[in-house]
Amino acid sequence: MTNPFREDLVSRSRPEPCTVVIFGATGDLTHRKLVPAIYNLAIDGELPPGVKILGFARREKSDAEFRKGLEELNRKVSRSGHDEAIWSTFQESIHYHQSEFTDADGYQRLAERLDAIDRERGGKGNRLFYIASAPEFFDDILTQLKTAGLNKAKDGCWARVIVEKPFGTDLKTAQHLNQVVNRTFQEKDTYRIDHYLGKETAQNLMVLRFANAIFEPLWNSRYIDQVQITCSENLGMEGGRGGYYDKSGALRDMVQNHLLQLLSLVAMEPPTDLSADGVRDEKVKVIRSLRQWDTPEKVAANVIRAQYAAGHVDGKPVPGYREEDRVDPESMTESYVALRLMIDTWRWSGVPFYIRMGKQLPKKATEISVHFKAPPGVLFNALSGGVPGGNVLVIRIQPDEGISLRMVSKIPGTSLRLEPVKMDFHYATSFGKSSPEAYERLLLDAMAGDATLFARRDEVEEAWRFIDHIEHAWHQSNNPPPMASYVAGTWGPKEADELVQADGHVWRRL
């Protein structure tokens, strides 16, 4: 028999019509991700009727020019292609508003413009503010929204804010930004986006763990030997990215947010329900339980940083990190990081979680592998070759999203010889359709008022608390751990191999 209370929690609330106001509308994110995401939702019939987009940016542009630029990109990147007829109707709900981010008058005009759009195109006044500008404007935008009264919704409507990453550059700046956000919007209306949480397989992690009976009983230090999270990218600092990246580095750019979020989904306790706070209460406990690497010695023993030297990726020559455009030739920013993490909870006592992330590695892939302990060897260890490896559950986040389980099997034949085999599930073949882009799901959730897949204030701050010690050891201590090096197009520095070898492990080959 179904439980009506549970059902209520599982079924999603409905997305509501609104105007999405995008700050930083002339940027790459808007063109490559946000507008194509809304367009694809429209194609799939998921978008509530009456959703409008208002781009806010500093450059002078007409509505028509803004639409044209978006259309050009949509043609190139849209997941389900570009349909002239659908675009032609869709683009009518796209508008552009020119203003400096700091100009109070620009926000007064924004308020009037929003009302006018509602009058002309129908709409009751729901507003979804998406802050996708350069981070130095986050404060100004929030403050100006408040001054213009745009943070308060009209009766019966809502005003919500989505804040893009980077959410601060350390604990102090994140706390400050949280104060500014919470002075302007209530926490329940604040959506700190982490697009990894919108990826289909990341969402499936909870289902895999808690909707199947076979995994959860084994999901602890008694049966699991180690867990690895790998995020490898075969790109460097293309498109002028070096300017931002050299101030950030792999640890702040990917680990503080995306990879610690994945870790918390893998390691959390079952939530009491699927409400946003139910899930986030459990996730934050994982981050809070991370053993702190709070001295340069602990950082040196548990964290490896590295930069790529010139090499070849996908058969093409690429420069070294320090030779990249807009990167300081003496930069001490890491393009690769590998960490050994320990989660000090009853469940995970003694189980190392390894994370590695790097630019200019051989391919683009993100996966989580859960390595189970070997069974007692009494029966098969005497065979020549012994038992080949243990059980590994691999959750492929991207590409080729899916899950595989490695088991040991007998090779058919008259003699007893063992070999690992794989049970493999691919999303694409099992469900016969491509997964929506992360931004599609997350935008829809924000329109529906569901913050489950967004980071809460305490999660972001706890993650920074952990990261800050490492950054401090690297950049402010008297005996900073060294910067290692790897050739572009290889799997990272030998020091990262040694990190896991010290525990008797090796990195999984992707």
Q: Which residues bind ligand BG6 (CB under 6 A)?
A: 165, 195, 233, 253-254, 366
Cα dihedral 390/393/394/395 (nearest 10): -170
Burial 421-435 (b: 16+ CB within 10 A, else e): eeeeeebeeeeeeeb
Smallest gap from Cβ 454 to ligand BG6, in A, equals: 15
**Residue in 97, 258, 371, 469 annotated catalytic:** 258
For 220, list phi and psi in degrees, rounded to 5.
-165, 180
Q: How far apart are CA 335 and CA 340, in angstroms?
A: 17
CA angle centred on 203, ends 202 and 209, rounded to 5°: 90
Asked about 82 being catalytic, the answer comes back as: no
DSSP per position, 334-376: -SEEEEEEEB-STTTTT-EEEEEEESS-SS-EEEEEEEEPPPP
Question: Which token pair is 16?
Answer: 């509501």
Smallest gap from Cβ 166 to ligand BG6, in A, equals: 8
Strand pairing category for 365-372 and 352-358 = unpaired
Cα-to-chain-centroid distance, residue 204: 14
Q: How far apart are CA 437 and CA 66, in angstroms?
A: 23
Q: Residue 403 contacts by C-beta under 8 Å, 6 or more apart in sequence?
A: 201, 204, 208, 393, 394, 395, 396, 424, 425
200 vs 233, beta carbon nearer ligand BG6: 233
For 353, list phi and psi in degrees, rounded to 5.
-110, 120
Residue nearest ligand BG6 (C-beta atom): 253
113 vs 195, beta carbon nearer ligand BG6: 195
Q: How far apart are CA 342 and CA 339, in angstroms?
A: 10
Structure letter (DSSP) for residue 455: B
Q: Residue 326 contacts by C-beta under 8 Å, 6 or more apart in sequence?
A: 237, 240, 241, 242, 243, 246
CA angle centred on 210, ends 464 and 2, rounded to 5°: 130
Q: How far apart are CA 302 and CA 341, in angstroms?
A: 7
Cα dihedral 72/82/23/456 (nearest 10): -140
Smallest gap from Cβ 173 to ligand BG6, in A, equals: 17
Smallest gap from Cβ 216 to ligand BG6, in A, equals: 28
Q: Which residues are catalytic?
A: 258
